[in-house]
Structure 1
Amino acid sequence: MTLTAIQQRKVEENMGLVHQVIKDKVHGYNQWGFYTYDDLFQIGCVGLCKAAATDKGGTFSTYAYRLIWHEICDALIQSTKRYSDEITADVTPYKKVETENGEFLSGLRIDLFQTLSSARREAPPSTAKGIDAMVMMSQGYTSSEIGERMGASAKLVCAWVSKARKFLKERPETEAIAVYRS
């Protein structure tokens, strides 16, 4: 978008309006999704530029305030949808592995059980639910079935599992179990 000199001056004079919109409308760090304050400021500046480019007269700050907020809202909504899609795509089905080497498999099961039990005791409640859901998935249950048993939606189960995976990846004892996979 190319702005004229007058439009550019209008944008420069109203940069504080972007800060004001973020201060007034975006509350709490948890609502921002993937965005930092600087990201939201840049997104708001795009809205301010659009306002300057399409201004037809009248009270500019009122018009620009709405366009800035709409631009930020659109970005937050899109990031929420993207995050939701990533959570549902993150859950892969777990299947039982059949092998001729029964000892190896039972040793692996013992290690997994001990590791998961230890991790579950130290995990926050939602992460512990995710570990329980992972165990149920390994037994062949779907997210919907697990959700019915745990009194939650399938998407919430997927979110728990995603959180549990991240929690387990950070634990040193899971590295030892990863050796069994290769």
Structure 2
Amino acid sequence: MTEIEKKLVIDHLYLVKNLVLYHSGYQKGTVGLEYEDLYQTGCIALCRAATSYHAGRGASFETYATRVIRNKLRDHRRHFSYIQSRLCYLDAPVSHTDEDGTYLELLPGFGEPASYSETDLLDILGRAKDSYTGITRKGIEAIELKCRGYSNTEIANIYKVKSNHIAAWISRARNRLKTDERLADLLCS
């Protein structure tokens, strides 16, 4: 960056703060959408605006930079919203109703959530899957895919079935896993 571009950035940092706080969809506690993340993204956009600004095109730098920063923040928010929509947390409900419980509750004897990593739980599910066939096995595979971020529709496309089949498979697997003493032994080992 040239000295003029650096001065433009320093003089207009207030734009980033204002846009992050009032126009960016800032969400405390949401990965990628916290203030620091959005502020950093806005500063990068401000630098990009400073290096690509041409005064002869009629717009003031403030107007141009505001547009560039706002667009970058909007893209960033959409990207992280998409990522969040694809994640399946182990403490998330298995179905849209709370009646089925969470994915953690699929594991009998599961005590302290911090005692198992997601990798460990997927490994335990993988070993438990070897004990089953048919719909229960497909249900466990569907649970593994959900934990990796797949939606019921995407899983249904993989198996070439309707998406309501996936919910039924998961329900059957969940009921079997709750009563499986071998799975409890895997969790204790």
Please report the TM-score for the alignment, with normalisation by the length of structure 1: 0.51
Shift of 1:34: 2.8
Alpha-carbon displacement from aligned partner over 1:131-172 (angstroms, at most 9, x marks no partner): 28987x8596674216888xxxxxxx9xxxxxxxxxxxxxxx
| Number of equivalent positions | 120
Structure 2 match to 1:47? 45
Equivalent of 2:98, from 120, 128, 131?
Answer: 128
Shift of 1:130: 4.9
| CA RMSD in angstroms, aligned pairs only | 3.9
Alpha-carbon displacement from aligned partner over 1:88-137 (angstroms, at most 9, x marks no partner): xx79xxxxxxxxxxxxxxxxxxxxxxxxxxxxxxx9x96724528987x8
Structure 1 match to 2:34? 36
Shift of 1:71: 1.2
Structure 1 match to 2:185? 180
Structure 1 match to 2:125? none
Please report the TM-score for the alignment, with normalisation by the length of structure 2: 0.49
SS of alignment partner, residue 29 of structure 1: coil
Structure 2: 5+ residue stretches without partners: 107-134, 143-151, 153-162, 171-180
Structure 1 match to 2:116? none
Seq. identity, %: 22
Instruction: Summarize the Cα distance change of 1:28–1:48 in structure 2 as closer, same or farther, 3 Å threshold.
Output: closer
Alpha-carbon displacement from aligned partner over 1:16-41 (angstroms, at most 9, x marks no partner): 00011112213462695533201100
Q: Distance in 1 between matches of 2:25 and 2:100?
A: 28
Structure 1: 5+ residue stretches without partners: 92-122, 150-156, 158-175
Structure 1 match to 2:70? 69
Which protein has the bigger helix share?
1
Residue pair 2:16, 2:42 contacting (<8 A) in 1 also: yes
